[in-house]
Amino acid sequence: MTKNILVTGGAGYIGSHTALQLLQGGYNVVVVDNLVNSSEIALHRVKQLASDFSNNLSYIKADIRDKEALDKIFSSTKFDAVIHFAGLKAVGESVEKPLLYYNNNLTGTINLLEVMSDHGCKMLVFSSSATVYGWPKEVPCTEEFPLSAANPYGRTKYFIEEICRDVQRSDGEWKIILLRYFNPVGAHPSGDIGEDPLGIPNNLMPYVQQVAVGRRPHLTVYGTDYNTKDGTGVRDYIHVVDLADGHIAALNKLFDTDLGCEVYNLGTGKGTTVLEMVTAFEKASGKKIPLVMAGRRPGDAEVVYASTEKAKRELNWKAKYGIEEMCRDQWNWASKNPYGYNSANDEE
Ligand code: NAD
Ligand code: UFG
């Protein structure tokens, strides 16, 4: 029997790639998204890419804080599981507008959990983040590390993880997988879907990409005095297609085994500096990325990368792609869509 999966935030960067992998894996997918940080065009592209499976995708424009809307969605389809991406994710904005973040991410998730419970759908995959490791005392980060959060966005991830653990403890019918993503980059190899942030990008690779297509003059490198091989920060970059595959592995785990609330890192286990990433992107794109060296960005950790052992062992999943493929696919998306899903005229 074909399984029905509700994907909240499925029009977004990671959600759209995951929706495509789900369709290609034979699942029925219903996306709910309010488009606060995404474009419906992404879903049209997902449909095209899914070709024979395109009819298995439907989209409902709704805010997950709207409980009535969620209730209607669950009344019309019996879902086997939910993958919950919907949330706001800009760290700086979360410091400026903490209540917006608590309202959107926490209230939205609580609503979703309540409606799921009301309808007897008790399998969930949630998008957590390596941000819950803060500035780790050592690397690689294992799932047992103490949790911390340096900003309201990070706290929403931490709180939602705790809420999920409490919900599962209170009712053993729940099965929940918390996935802690490291740094998702790259795009689908078709170049038809990718990351398209609104306004000035906060993250490294979307920024690099916009410099490469001429939308920004240079990249500011935040911090050159870290205790790393070239002084710049180290992160665990993971290809978004690998990340999407990790969700299929998590679903298989939910469907096939008894489990309570489990947490898995999704990363490659390899650390890369900012300058190494820039060099790899320059090579993939043939474009020079002008750099301006600057001080550290407040709140940034020095070195963060994942232990991937638990995901390998228990989800039977590991990342396939390296930074070369990440940069190749990011550039393919950027060069085909220099203004993302919009056109140059839409730029303010
Ligand atoms: P994204 O902004 O591209 O996708 C999130 C989607 O959720 C968007 O399409 C947005 O419109 C939607 N959304 C937000 N609030 C909503 C609401 N109240 N109701 C309905 N839809 C809503 O972000 P992404 O990079 O695809 O991230 C997906 C998830 O993964 C997020 O929860 C994010 O916090 C988490 N995450 C992302 C990263 C990263 O670096 N991209 C790292 C770790 C964790
Ligand atoms: N960096 C720059 N210049 C920029 C942007 C970033 O030098 O313009 C550097 C940062 O200082 C850091 C590295 O590039 O050393 C990566 O920065 P990102 O902002 O791309 O990623 P972070 O690891 O800081 O944070 C991201 C998300 C968080 C998430 C975390 C782990 O923003 O929300 O990955 O998943 F929690």
pLDDT bin (cut points 50, 70, 90) of residue 348 is: very low
Nearest ligand, CA of residue 130?
2
The pocket around ligand 2, CB under 6 angstroms, is made up of 89, 91, 129-131, 181-183, 202-204, 207, 219-223, 233, 235, 274, 297, 300
The model's pLDDT over 267-308, given as tens digits with 9 standing for 90+, comes to 999 999 999 999 999 999 999 999 999 999 999 999 999 999
In this prediction, residue 287 carries a pLDDT of 97
Q: Nearest residue CA, atom 6 of ligand 2? A: 204
3-state DSSP call for residue 294? strand
**Is 190 in contact with 240 (CB distance < 8 Å)?**
no
Cβ of 335: how many Cβ atoms within 10 Å? 15
pLDDT > 60? residue 330: yes
User: What separation in Å is there between the alpha carbon of 88 and the centre of ligand 1?
Assistant: 6
Nearest ligand, CA of residue 202?
2
In this prediction, residue 184 carries a pLDDT of 98
The model's pLDDT over 27-81, given as tens digits with 9 standing for 90+, comes to 999 999 999 999 999 999 999 999 999 999 999 999 999 999 999 999 999 999 9
In whole angstroms, what is the distance from residue 121 CA to residue 82 CA? 8
pLDDT bin (cut points 50, 70, 90) of residue 345 is: low
In this prediction, residue 342 carries a pLDDT of 87
User: What separation in Å is there between the alpha carbon of 229 and the centre of ligand 1?
Assistant: 32
Cβ of 120: how many Cβ atoms within 10 Å? 10
Task: Select from 332, 321, 180 the least CA-distant residue to 239.
Answer: 321
The model's pLDDT over 71-118, given as tens digits with 9 standing for 90+, comes to 999 999 999 999 999 999 999 999 999 999 999 999 999 999 999 999
User: What separation in Å is there between the alpha carbon of 291 and the centre of ligand 1?
Assistant: 29
In this prediction, residue 98 carries a pLDDT of 98
**Is 126 in contact with 179 (CB distance < 8 Å)?**
yes
Where in the sequence numbering do the catalytic residues fall?
153
- Position 328, amino acid: R
3-state DSSP call for residue 237? strand
Task: Select from 179, 314, 312 the least CA-distant residue to 258.
Answer: 314
In whole angstroms, what is the distance from residue 141 CA to residue 229 CA? 19
pLDDT > 60? residue 347: no
3-state DSSP call for residue 340? coil
User: What separation in Å is there between the alpha carbon of 231 and the centre of ligand 1?
Assistant: 30
**Is 196 in contact with 35 (CB distance < 8 Å)?**
no
Q: Nearest residue CA, atom 15 of ligand 2? A: 233
The pocket around ligand 1, CB under 6 angstroms, is made up of 9, 11-15, 33-38, 63-65, 85-89, 104, 108, 127, 129, 181, 183-184
Q: Nearest residue CA, atom 29 of ligand 1? A: 85
pLDDT > 50? residue 317: yes
Count of CA atoms in the C-beta half-sphere (13 A) of 62: 23
The model's pLDDT over 123-160, given as tens digits with 9 standing for 90+, comes to 999 999 999 999 999 999 999 999 999 999 999 999 99
Averaged pLDDT score across all residues of the chain: 97
Backbone angles phi, psi at 60, to 5 degrees: -125, 125
Which residue's structure tokens are 């969930």? 124
Q: Which residues of 236-260 are buried (b: 16+ CB within 10 A; e: fewer)?
A: bbbbbbbbbbbbbbbbebbeeeeee
| Cis bond before residue 140 (omega within 30° of 0) | yes
User: What separation in Å is there between the alpha carbon of 344 and the centre of ligand 2?
Assistant: 26
In this prediction, residue 85 carries a pLDDT of 99
Sign, CA torsion 257/258/261/265:
negative
C-alpha gyration radius of the chain? 19
CA angle 167, 5, 116 (to 5 degrees): 30
Nearest ligand, CA of residue 278?
2
Task: Select from 183, 276, 267 the least CA-distant residue to 226.
Answer: 276
Q: For a pocket test of ligand 1, which of 33, 101, 112 has the largest count of ligand atoms closer than 8 A to its C-beta? A: 33
The model's pLDDT over 191-205, given as tens digits with 9 standing for 90+, comes to 999 999 888 999 999
In the chain, % of residues over pLDDT 90: 97
By the 10 Å C-beta count (0-12 exposed, 13-18 middle, 19+ buried), 286 is classed as exposed
